[in-house]
Structures are given as C-alpha cells and as structure tokens.
Amino acid sequence: MIKGLLLLLVMQAAGALLQLLYLPMLPGPVIGLLLLLVFLLLLGRIPACLEQVSVVLFQYLPLLLAVPATGILLGGDVLLTQLPAISGALLFSLLLCIPLCGWLMQRLIGDKRGCLIRCCRSYTRRSPRSR
Amino acid sequence: MPDPLLQVIHSPVTAIALTLAAFLCAIWLYRRSGWLVLQPVLVTMLIIIAGIRLLGLEYQAYREAVLPISWLLGPATVALAVPLYRNLRRIRQTLWPVILTLLVGGVAIVALTLLFAYWLGADLPVLMTLATKSVTMPIAMPLAEQLGGIAALAAVLVMLTGVAGTAMLPPLLNLCGVQHPAARGMAYGMNAHAVGTARALEEGDECGAFAALAMGALGAMTAVLLPLAVLLLKATLGW
C-alpha cells in the first residue's frame, strides 16, 4: 500500500517537473497520470500495491473533491451579480450536452448491448406465437 | 489569555474532524436515500461550508488545516491510470468514436454555454470564464486567466458544473436510453470532469476508465484549442 502510494507520488513529482519545464498548460497530476500509464504499459501488468492504493483512493474521491469545492465561498461576488446568466447557461448547456455526448458515443460504437437487448425482446415477443 | 474552547475550535483538529464528519454524513445520506441529487461531493461541501460559518473559521486557515486530506487529490488523479490501463483494449477498439465524441461534444459544450450566457446577458470576462467550465479545475483556472476571464470564478463554475452535472447525468442518460458503460463514462467525464468520474467509478471499472479518459483528453484538448479559437473569434468580430 505504501509502496503503491510512493509510486503515485514519484509519478506526480515527475509530472510536476515536466509541467514546469515543458508543458505549462497541463497540470502536473494529469502528466503524472500519463507517465504512470506508460509505466504500466512497459511493465505489462498492474502491481498489487498499486491496485490496493488506487482502490482506497477512489473510495474516498468524493471527500478529496469536496475540499477544493468549498472554494465556492471565495468567488461568490461576481457569481451573485450575474447569477441568472451563469446558472441558466450552465443548466441549459448540461441539459443538451449530456444526452448529446452519451447518445453520440453510443451510436458511434454501434451499441452492441442495445442491439442484444432488442434481439432478446423481439425473440421473447415472437416465441409465444411460434409455440 | 484566549478562551480554551475557542482555541480548540480554531485548531486544525477541528477542521479535519469537521471535514471527515461531513463526508460520513454525506455518504450515510446518499446510501440511505438512494437519491442521486444528494451527491456526496455536494452534500459534503455544503456541510463543511455550514460548519465553517457556524464555527466562525477563517476560510484560508481552514484550507491550510485540511492539507493532510487535500494533498491526496494529486496521487488520486495519477491513480486514474489504473482503470485506464485495465480498459486500454476497449478504448483502443473505440478510438475513433472517442475522438469524434470528444471533438463534437467538446465544441458543443463550449458553444452552447457561451450562446446561452450571451443571450442571458453575461459580460465578456464571465463569458471567457464560462468557456472553461467543463474542464478539470487545475486546467480551467490558468486557462480562464489566459483568456481574459476570472480564475477564482473559474474554480467556482467548474465545481458548480461538476456537482450539478453529476446530479443531472444519471437520470438524463437513462431517459435517453444510454446504457453502454463506455458511452455513459464519456458523458460523465466530458460534462462533469472529476466529480463525474468519481460517480462513474461507482458504476463500474469500464465506465470509470472512459470517464477518466474523457476528462483528461477534453482538458488537454480545451487547453490547446480554446485559446486559438478565442483568438480567431476576436479577430473576426474585431473585439
């Protein structure tokens, strides 16, 4: 577990270094993610220590995200003065883009599962008649 | 001599205890109600804010006190490489759908948000900030600044989008018949970045992997393409 955490931290530190040197537009942890992916590809398997620590970290991801989310306390002034425009734009665009992204991806990959369900349904619909 | 009770309230122990207690309450509520609008991130955040206000804590002091918790977000982000690696074969099979969805969806997210905000009367700095709202926070803040937006507001908008999006995503996807875990994951990662990815991991490994992929790729894409698009737009409109 500690070994896994150390591996994550080493990757994050390397990512931070790369960010400072070459990639100012990408955050260090995201570069670290790519580095770890390359490392796993080279290794060809997921070490048990890494598996353990990632399970624990993902379990508490909402807790880790809630702390920066409280930053909402700071940017409140501009938000309040233009609240209708901002909240309206956020909600409307989510309302349209969520179905768009999901539907588009599902259409593009051919929705094998959906086809399967449809096939099963038509089969069960047909079977009583054929009996 | 300061009041001993006050001294304890303003010590880091109270801040950390408040954060953990808020998380436990939120998880309990989420499991008991089974109601997706009660996102753990949202409820934890609200309880913490209420706690900060009630106890009269300084916000900056609170953030410093909970550093032992919040530094783990970095390693947790790096660890997203694990589900990505585990589902690499699935991702490779669907490379073109992923790229197309990222491009079309990414453009639609920024364009529709700006269109609605402009129509509802937002001013230019707010528009430039809104353009970054679907990108994970460490990318969104410097990007908003670069575009002429407001970094602090960007952080707020990103969190609002993540929390509102994660509450809206499951019912909307079910309504539209999106059942494939890869398609659901893409929608989670693109519309609600990290908060959506946390929720996608709850649905399963494949869903989480595609959400992490969508979040990272959309973030990188936006960081590179959005400044170019804004430059072009400003040149053509003569701002």
Q: What is the pLDDT of residues B95-125, one digit of tens each?
A: 899 999 999 999 999 999 999 999 998 888 8
Which range among A4-8, B38-42, B222-226 has the greatest average pLDDT? A4-8
Cross-chain Cβ contact B44/A66 below 8 Å: yes
Write out chain B residues lying below 8 Å of A102, CB-based: 172-173, 176, 178, 183-184, 186-187
Q: Identify whether residues A5 and A40 lie together within a single domain.
A: yes
* A101 inside domain: yes
Is residue B232 scored above 90 in pLDDT?
no
The total number of structural domains in chain A stands at 2
Sketch the domain layout of chain B as residue ranges. Answer: 4-71, 78-237
Average pLDDT, chain B: 88
Cross-chain Cβ contact B216/A90 below 8 Å: no
Record the pTM. Answer: 0.79
pLDDT value at residue B37:
73
| Distance from the Cα of residue B58 to its chain's centroid | 24
The torsion of the CA quartet B4, B9, B13, B15, rounded to 10 degrees, works out to: -170
Ramachandran area for residue B58 (φ above 0: left; ψ -120 to 50: alpha; else beta): beta
* A115 inside domain: yes
**A105 interface with B at CB cutoff 8 Å:** yes
Find, in chain A, the residue whose alpha carbon is nearest to that of B161.
Answer: A90
pLDDT value at residue B211:
94
Among A36, A72, A91, select the one facing B78 at the smallest CB separation. Answer: A36
Identify the domain boundary among A50, A65, A80: A65
Q: Identify whether residues A58 and A96 lie together within a single domain.
A: no
Task: Please enumerate in sequence order all residues whose Cβ is within 8 A of that of B58, keeping only pairs 6 or more positions apart, or say none.
Answer: none
Residue A66 tokens read as 């809630």
Q: Please, are residues B52 and B45 in contact by the beta-carbon 8 Å criterion?
A: no
Is residue B233 scored above 50 in pLDDT?
yes
**A13 interface with B at CB cutoff 8 Å:** no
* A78 inside domain: no
Q: Collapsing DSSP states into helix, strand and coil, what is residue B37? A: coil
Q: Please, are residues B186 and B208 in contact by the beta-carbon 8 Å criterion?
A: no
Q: Please, are residues B138 and B163 in contact by the beta-carbon 8 Å criterion?
A: no
Q: Identify whether residues A95 and A55 lie together within a single domain.
A: no
pLDDT value at residue A75:
65
Q: Could you write out the three-class secondary structure of B93-151?
A: HCHHHHHHHHHHHHHHHHHHHHHHHHHCCCCHHHHHHHCCCCCCHHHHHHHHHHHCCCH
CA distance B222 to B210: 18
Q: Please, are residues B218 and B239 in contact by the beta-carbon 8 Å criterion?
A: no
Q: Identify whether residues A12 and A61 lie together within a single domain.
A: yes
- Least Cα distance to B96 among A41, A104, A35 occurs for A104
* A73 inside domain: no
Using the structure block, give the residue that is written with the tokens 């409140």: A76
Q: What percent of chain B has pLDDT over 90?
A: 42
Q: Could you write out the three-class secondary structure of chain A?
A: CHHHHHHHHHHHHHHHHHHHHCCCCCCHHHHHHHHHHHHHHHHCCCCHHHHHHHHHHHHCHHHHHHHHHHHHHCCHHHHHHCHHHHHHHHHHHHHHHHHHHHHHHHHHCCCHHHHHHHHHHHHHHHHHHHC
The ipTM is: 0.81
Cross-chain Cβ contact B191/A97 below 8 Å: yes
Residues spanned by the domain of A6? 1-65
Q: Identify whether residues A46 and A96 lie together within a single domain.
A: no
Q: Collapsing DSSP states into helix, strand and coil, what is residue B58? A: coil
Task: Please enumerate in sequence order all residues whose Cβ is within 8 A of that of A56, keeping only pairs 6 or more positions apart, or say none.
Answer: A1
pLDDT value at residue B1:
56
**A42 interface with B at CB cutoff 8 Å:** no
pLDDT in tens, A11-24: 999 999 998 998 77
pLDDT value at residue B238:
66
Is residue B26 scored above 70 in pLDDT?
yes
Q: List, as ranges, residues 149-208 from B with C-beta within 8 Å of A.
A: 150, 152-153, 155-157, 159-165, 168-169, 172-173, 175-180, 182-184, 186-187, 190-191, 194-195, 197-198, 201, 208
Using the structure block, give the residue that is written with the tokens 């499951």: B170
Q: Identify whether residues A8 and A51 lie together within a single domain.
A: yes
pLDDT value at residue B237:
75
Q: Identify whether residues A4 and A51 lie together within a single domain.
A: yes
CA distance A96 to A101: 9
Give the pLDDT mean for B30-42: 81
CA distance B5 to chain A (A): 25
pLDDT value at residue A53:
94
Greatest CA span in chain A, whole angstroms?
72
pLDDT value at residue A12:
94
pLDDT truncated to tens, each residue of chain A (131 aa)?
899 999 999 999 999 999 899 877 777 888 898 899 999 999 999 999 999 999 999 889 889 888 888 877 776 677 778 888 889 999 999 999 999 999 999 999 885 544 444 444 444 444 444 43
* A76 inside domain: no
- Least Cα distance to A67 among B133, B216, B49, B39 occurs for B49
